[in-house]
């Protein structure tokens, strides 16, 4: 029924047709509501803190968005974040070189992504299952690697500043995030590989026939996704100042939720980084708001859950409205 209303083509409908606008509206409303409840919300410190904290999720979200666009998914990033953190810290302790530590962390990410990609493309294992398995494997491996949290023996300032430092008034993680975000925004919308991601997710065989190396592209995306997760892991370990084997629990679900909230479809072929950015910010703002409003923290998961359903519902409404325009 709603479809027939919304297909009448009023201004409102036209807006409904753009998912991002709704999301931005939601974000604004929530922020407004919170700031009515408490004045601290709009303090620069809180804004920066929200940005710094969401930067990890957003960086991972960039990769996850691209992966979902190709029609795949990765549930192993949470465990990967922990593993990367532990390895990075450990290597820096041993070598006293931030560079080598970061290199090891990113390397680990790349390898994990490669394995995920190969399992998907060569073994043909559905990526949902394949990466659930990888989630277990990594979580097990990190404890096999180090049972205890790895303490910071090196006390290197550069390492500490990766997660906690500022450039001017901007937290460094935010700067890293913004740079990556802009670069991949351009790649996704303006370049050949970007276009090919959408084509692959939209219709794999058609992409193949158009001369796209679908498997390689997917493997590459898995690698990219894991490397992004690794970057988040490195930021996290710097912020925690110790490599925690138990870190990143539920990280993957949070990121995926935000990406989907941002209008990326699980079916592949559709999705925007703008949506991802807004989607993840919404989730983060809800969590932040509930705490600074001193509400019961358990509301965090409840409200997030409801918001996601709502957003997807609106997104469907939009899709149905569109599809009704198909003629015979």
- Residue among 39 and 99 whose Cβ is closer to other proteins: 39
Closest residue by Cα to residue 276 from 291, 264, 265: 264
Confirm or reject binding of residue 207 to other proteins (CB under 8 A).
Answer: yes
Residues 6 or more apart in contact with residue 163 via CB below 8 angstroms: 172, 173, 234, 235, 236, 237, 238, 239, 240
Stretch that binds other proteins, among 21-29, 39-47, 175-183, 218-226 (CB under 8 A): 39-47
Q: Locate 43 and state its tokens.
A: 């303090």
Distance CA 294, CA 225 (A): 35
* Per-residue contact flags (x/-) with other proteins for residues 260 to 299, judged by CB under 8 A: x-----x--xx----------------xx--xx-x-xxxx
- Among 128, 167, 179, 183, indicate the residue that binds other proteins (CB under 8 A): 128
- Among 102, 188, 236, 281, indicate the residue that binds other proteins (CB under 8 A): 236
Confirm or reject binding of residue 180 to other proteins (CB under 8 A).
Answer: no
Confirm or reject binding of residue 326 to other proteins (CB under 8 A).
Answer: yes
Q: How far is the CB of 70 from other proteins (least distance, A)?
A: 12
Going from the C-alpha of 300 to that of each of 23, 34, 78, 120, 296, the distances in angstroms are: 18, 14, 19, 34, 8
- Residue pair 60/183 in contact (Cβ under 8 Å)? The answer is no
Distance CA 102, CA 182 (A): 22
Q: How far is the CB of 210 from other proteins (least distance, A)?
A: 4
Q: How far is the CB of 240 from other proteins (least distance, A)?
A: 5
Confirm or reject binding of residue 11 to other proteins (CB under 8 A).
Answer: no
- Residue among 62 and 134 whose Cβ is closer to other proteins: 134
Stretch that binds other proteins, among 15-23, 100-108, 202-210, 220-228 (CB under 8 A): 202-210
Confirm or reject binding of residue 168 to other proteins (CB under 8 A).
Answer: no
> Binders of other proteins: how many residues, by CB under 8 A?
98
- Residue among 99 and 190 whose Cβ is closer to other proteins: 190
Distance CA 234, CA 87 (A): 10
Confirm or reject binding of residue 107 to other proteins (CB under 8 A).
Answer: no
Distance CA 180, CA 74 (A): 20
Per-position b or e across 302-321, b if 16+ CB within 10 A of its CB: ebbeebbeebbebbebbbeb
Closest residue by Cα to residue 185 from 275, 256, 56: 275
* Per-residue contact flags (x/-) with other proteins for residues 238 to 257, judged by CB under 8 A: -xxxx-xxxxxx---x---x
Confirm or reject binding of residue 90 to other proteins (CB under 8 A).
Answer: no
Confirm or reject binding of residue 130 to other proteins (CB under 8 A).
Answer: yes
- Among 18, 29, 191, 295, indicate the residue that binds other proteins (CB under 8 A): 191
Q: How far is the CB of 215 from other proteins (least distance, A)?
A: 11
Closest residue by Cα to residue 234 from 56, 48, 52, 49: 56
Residue with tokens 């919308």: 189
Give the pairing of strands 150-151 and 166-167. unpaired
Stretch that binds other proteins, among 16-24, 25-33, 99-107, 309-317 (CB under 8 A): 309-317
Closest residue by Cα to residue 69 from 162, 238, 203, 248: 203
Confirm or reject binding of residue 320 to other proteins (CB under 8 A).
Answer: yes
Stretch that binds other proteins, among 16-24, 25-33, 99-107, 232-240 (CB under 8 A): 232-240
């Amino acid at each position: 029924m709603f479809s027939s209303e919304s297909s009448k083509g009023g201004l409102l409908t036209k807006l409904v047709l753009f998912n991002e606008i709704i999301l931005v509206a939601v974000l604004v409303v929530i922020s407004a509501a919170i700031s009515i409840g408490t004045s601290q919300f709009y303090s620069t410190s809180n804004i920066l803190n929200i940005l710094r904290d969401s930067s990890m999720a957003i960086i991972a979200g960039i990769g996850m968005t691209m992966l979902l666009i190709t029609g795949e998914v990765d549930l192993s990033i949470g465990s990967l974040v922990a593993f990367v953190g532990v390895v990075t810290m450990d290597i820096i302790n041993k070598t006293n070189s931030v560079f080598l530590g970061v290199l090891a962390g990113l390397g680990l990410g790349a390898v994990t992504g490669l394995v995920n990609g190969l399992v998907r493309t060569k073994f043909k294992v559905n990526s949902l299952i394949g990466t659930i398995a990888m989630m277990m494997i990594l979580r097990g491996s990190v404890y096999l690697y180090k049972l205890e949290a790895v303490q910071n023996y090196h006390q290197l300032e550069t390492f500490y500043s990766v997660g906690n430092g500022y450039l001017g008034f901007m937290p460094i993680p935010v700067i890293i995030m913004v740079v990556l975000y802009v670069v991949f925004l351009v790649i996704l919308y303006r370049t050949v590989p970007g276009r090919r991601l959408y084509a692959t997710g939209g219709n794999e065989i058609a992409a193949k026939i158009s001369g796209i190396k679908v498997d390689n592209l997917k493997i590459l995306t898995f690698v990219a996704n894991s490397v992004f997760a690794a970057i988040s892991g490195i930021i996290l370990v710097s912020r925690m100042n110790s490599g925690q084997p138990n870190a990143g629990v539920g990280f993957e679900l949070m990121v995926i939720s935000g990406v989907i909230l941002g209008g990326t479809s699980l079916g592949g072929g559709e999705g925007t980084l703008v949506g991802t950015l807004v989607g993840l910010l919404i989730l983060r703002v809800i969590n932040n708001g509930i705490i600074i409003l001193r509400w019961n923290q358990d509301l965090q998961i409840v409200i997030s859950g409801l918001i996601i359903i709502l957003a997807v519902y609106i997104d469907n409404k939009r899709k149905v409205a569109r599809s009704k325009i198909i003629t015979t």
